[in-house]
Every structure is written in structure tokens, then in C-alpha cells.
Structure 1
Amino acid sequence: MGKTKDVTPHQKNQIMQKLLSSMNKKERPELGTINKLANEFQLCRKTITRLWKEVQNQINNNQTIFNLGSKRIGREPSNKIQFDDDKFKAIKCELKTTQHSVAKQMGVSQSTVFRWKKKKIIRKDTNPLKPALTEKIICTDEKHFYLTRETQTYYLAPGAVEPHREIQPKRFIPKIMFMCAVAKPIYSSNGDVIFDEKIGMWPFIRQEPAKRSSKNRRRGELETKPIQSITKDHMRAMLITNVIPTIRAKWPSMLSKDIIIQQDNAKPHIAPNDKDFVDEATKDGFNIQLVQQPPNSPDMNVLDLV
């Protein structure tokens, strides 16, 4: 007995011709013909017998053209809708956003589009929105940080010495204000970072000579202290001395030099038309403008002020 396998229409036709040519006077194949054909085509004997019964039924119905096509369930019909590649490429991308829109433009059913997608004739692509490279907005904001904590937790190895922390006085821990400038990152088509969002972070500090000697320093040595009261002069100096030079140094050469710095409406902030700021912001081909954040508008609030 041969192995069971699919029989093509061509093989069925060959088997039918040999069965008909071996018929005896009783209109039956000669003895041993079925076994011989099963071995020749490596088929099961029952398969040859079934084919012979199909031929007999068609002979009894006076059919001169025998129909021995495949009856396998799930085989695709010969009249299936063919994919028109030229027609599909001619459709605008805006009209191919859903399977329904693709089916409408191609004049087929949605099930046909689903079958094309399953067979990878067409593919789904998610295209994220990318920021424009013509103009960039940099957001600035200020934040207070305490110099240290009154209580700090550490994880130490057995026998390790505890860290020595001291401050005077501990109930009035100094806090320092920082200005932070960030922007949206820009990526290339390959996913590489062209420009990250980090511009910089700078403290509002001052240096003054020590008034008296101590165990930590001698009289007259410079010591760093936080600026407790921030004024417009401090804001202007921060922008001119730190923010604008850092933007020039980090800004990619392929991007537009039309830049907007957005700040909130705190009283110490300088005006957008401040002369010293404008003079510094228009150097080296840059056009850096200062704008105020829309007041009382949470929907348009870029900074973390809500």
C-alpha cells in the first residue's frame, strides 16, 4: 500500500485513462489493475477505488467529458480577486488610512483587504508625527532645592562608618534656586538622536569673601552662597551668561536658528524686548526671542505650573 497524499487533476486523468484502457468484457478493470496503479502513483488502494467509482458514476450519467477536479476543502477558487499593484500605488496615502477606505478605493470587500494584509501583499504602517525643524521652542522654569535633608537614610555594610553630616543651623537648611531649560528631542529617520531635550540647569549663587576666619576657611577667601532674593538683574544675567551661550554651543547646525524661549509670568522675569537680552540673542546668526507663557491657560501651559 502506498502513502496517502494529494492527487493532482493531471494524475487523476492519467489514472482514469489507464482504468478505462484496462476494462474487460464486464466493463470492469482487470484483476490487479487497482493495486498496480496504487504502487505506480504511490497512492492508497482506496483512493484508486474511489476514483474508479467517480468515473463509473459519470459514465452512467452519459458524460463524455469527465470532471475529476480537486474537491479539497479550503482550496482557493480560481476566480479570486487579483491584487492590482498599479491601482493601489496610484491611491493617495490620505485615502488609505483604514481597511474600509482601502476597500472603497480598490472596489473590493473588506474581507479581501484583510486577506491581502494576512498574506503580506499590503502592510500596515504607523507613521508618528515628527516636530518641524524650522522653529524650536525652549521652555525655562525655576525650581527650589534644599541643600540637604534633616534626616537621610543610607544602606551600609556591616561595620561601615556612618556618613558625617552637619549644617548650622539644621532647622534653617539653605535652599538654592535653579533655572532649567529643556526642549523636545529630535530623532533621525533611523531613530538616532539628533538633538536631545537637555539644554542645561544652572544655580543662582554668588561668591563673596569670608568676613572672619574659621576652621573651614580663612578670612577673605571666597565662599559660595545661594542668592536668597532673585531680581530681574539676576534673571537677565542668567539668560545672557548661561542660557544663550549653552544654546549656541548645543544647537545642531542643520536646524533653523530661529529659537523661542518661553518663560512663565513670574515678576522677576525680564521683558521680551529687554535691550541687553536682544543684543546677546541676535549674535552669530541666531534669532532667539523671549515670549511669555499665556496666563491662566492650563490647556496651553507647557511648564509644570498647573
Structure 2
Amino acid sequence: MQLFVVKGIIFHGDLILGVSGRKKTWSPAMIERAIKSVPHEDRQTLRSLAAASAVPKTTIIRHMQEEGRLSARVNYVKPLLTDKNKEVRVQYAKSFLRPSSNGHHVFDDMHDYVHVDEKWFYLTKVKRRFCVYDDEDVALRSVKSKNFITKVMFLASVARPRYDPHTKMYFDGKLGV
């Protein structure tokens, strides 16, 4: 029996370093070629990518860890503005400009504007997860139909903060929710 010393560690001759184990069936180039042939719509999850590219999910995960070039990225939707939309937005912003005596423009103080917004919420979700002990019961949640869960609207309004000379106090601009 032979003995090998690698970095101060003694190995027996029956241990084969670096060439043992199952051979890889997918090379990095093959994985990259298979993934790049899949359209972006089918690359949203690792499971859908594995199904569309015929590369196992665990192989893709290992490839991501070893190569480091394949990663998940977030992509947000951006508004598609036409030239007319852009022009209307610029005109709206220009409507708040007031000419001054020195030839420059200043923005309106916006003391006469109130911004109002609404937001709808469901009172409950159809499926919820609770952490309970063995001796506890989960509370009964019932609705007439899971398709018609009651919605609630919150209405919020906000204005520009300002000083009120009558009360000699500052108004924070929050009118309520």
C-alpha cells in the first residue's frame, strides 16, 4: 500500500484524488447552450427552466453556484409612454410654474391642493397558515362564499404642511385615513 502526502495530510494509495465519483453528464457549455435556447417567459422559476431546457433542476443550481454567471434577476414593468403621453406630463408639470418678476419661473406653493387616494383590501384570505400548539384549536373562519369575500376601502388624503396663523401651530398635511 502506497502513502501520499498532500498539504500535510497522509493519504493511502487506494484513494484516488480528483478522478473519483460519478462523471458529469452536462458540461458548462452544454448547460449554457440549453438555457439560452429557452425563451425568457419560461425562465421565471428554476422548475419551469428545468422543464423547458431538459436540464435537471439540481444541475442548474450546481451550475449557478460553480459558474457564477447565471443568476436570478428582478425585472419591473415600466410604463410605455407615447410621445403624446410625455407631452401631456410635461404640460402638467409646467402648469405649476409661475413667472416671477426677474424673468425666472418659480413653482407654485401648492397650498390649495389636496391629494386623495383610495386602496381596497380584502377582510380575510381564503387560505391562511397559523402556528398553534397541539392542545389548541384553530379559530373557525367562515364566509358565505370564498368567491365573495368582503372588501374594505381606505381613503387617504394629504395636503402640503403649512403654518396656521390663527392657531399659531403647524399643520402636518395629513387629513386622515
> Structure 2 length as normaliser, TM-score?
0.40
Indicate the structure (1 or 2) with the bigger Cα radius of gyration: 1
Greater strand fraction, Structure 1 or Structure 2: 2
